Structure 1
Amino acid sequence: MLKQRIQDDMKSAMKGGDKARLGVIRLLMAAIKQREVDERVELDDEQILAVLDKMVKQRRDSISQYEQAGRAELAEQEAFEITVLQDYLPEALSEDEISNMISEVIQATGATSLRDMGKVMGQLKPKMQGRADMGAVSALIKQKLGN
């Protein structure tokens, strides 16, 4: 369903002459196709969200590197790409929602120390994929388990 929506958006960007948006959507489709070829499967929505999440993370990393190098125009391009990619991600979770989910999983798994971090992340990742920055989630889990 998500893949079809992306393909439809690509067609409308072509018809509308929106070259910048079209370029980002083509990058996304190429990443999806690459994974499908590599793994010899048709990606479902959850796997496509994982691809989207990875692409957004790569762009965030690039933005910080470009800003450090004083390349504002490249950072702006990456930021634009993030806005296009985020159109396909589910609504982001609020900080309170993330914190509550972490607390629930810590309680459910009986996690008590940083050694239990893998259990907690394993439970949270499928629920939060594409809806939260997993690096920030990881930091919050460390903070809660470190106490």
Structure 2
Amino acid sequence: MDALKERIKEEMKAAMKGGDKARLGVIRLIMAAIKQVEVDERVELGDDRVLIVLDKMLKQRRESIRQFRDAGRTDLAEIEEAEVLVIQDFLPQPLSDDEIDKLVAGAIAETGAATIKDMGAVMNVLKPKMQGRADMAQVSARIKARLTA
């Protein structure tokens, strides 16, 4: 078993022992999402695929937070924000803005991207390097800004 999945299981045990029901609930959601992918695809997920699952969960929660805030439901947005914090505990250290800018510039140079039509190629280069370490929607906006400038 890979280190990340093992760490999630250990954190689940710790939350059970510590009586942290909120954290335990989120960790159970993470484990269920991982198990769902494993059952659907009949594979054992490695750390890289677990990161993809966690990243997808983060993206869903960020979208929910935006929608709840737009609807004036700050109570529900706060619950989602608490879930985001727990999920982020299992992700690698986020990239700084400078690091993201350097990676974007490198990917644009590597692919020879010149117009917005080349954005897909740039994203394909960046996604594996940034998975779980940056909000890909923000990265996409930065790429778009550079290619349209």
**Pairwise TM-score range, normalised by the shorter structure:** over 0.9
Distance in structure 2 (CA, Å) of the matches to 1:143 and 1:5: 38
**1:55 aligned partner, one-letter code:** M
Partner of 2:107: 105
Distance in structure 1 (CA, Å) of the matches to 2:49 and 2:59: 15
Distance in structure 2 (CA, Å) of the matches to 1:109 and 1:57: 26
Distance in structure 2 (CA, Å) of the matches to 1:11 and 1:119: 42
Distance in structure 2 (CA, Å) of the matches to 1:68 and 1:114: 30
Match of 2:45, SS? coil
Structure 1 position 73, deviation (Å):
1.2
Structure 1 position 91, deviation (Å):
0.6
User: What's the RMSD between the two structures over aligned residues?
Assistant: 0.7
Q: TM-score, normalised by structure 1?
A: 0.98
| Structure 1 gaps, min length 5 | none
Superposition misfits of 4+ residues, deviation over 2 angstroms: none
Structure 1 position 68, deviation (Å):
1.5
**1:53 aligned partner, one-letter code:** D
Partner of 2:127: 125
Distance in structure 1 (CA, Å) of the matches to 2:78 and 2:119: 35
Sequence identity of aligned pairs in percent? 63
Partner of 2:51: 49
Match of 1:98, SS? helix
Alignment length (residue pairs): 147
The question of 1:23 aligning with 2:25 is answered yes
Q: Deviations over 1:4-57 (max 9, x none)?
A: 000000011011111000000000000000000001100010110011011011
Q: TM-score, normalised by structure 2?
A: 0.97
Q: What is the correspondence of 1:78-117 to structure 2 with a 5 Å cutoff? A: 78-117=80-119
Distance in structure 1 (CA, Å) of the matches to 2:106 and 2:129: 12
Structure 1 position 67, deviation (Å):
1.2
Task: Indicate the larger mover: 112-121 or 30-39.
Answer: 112-121
| Structure 2 gaps, min length 5 | none
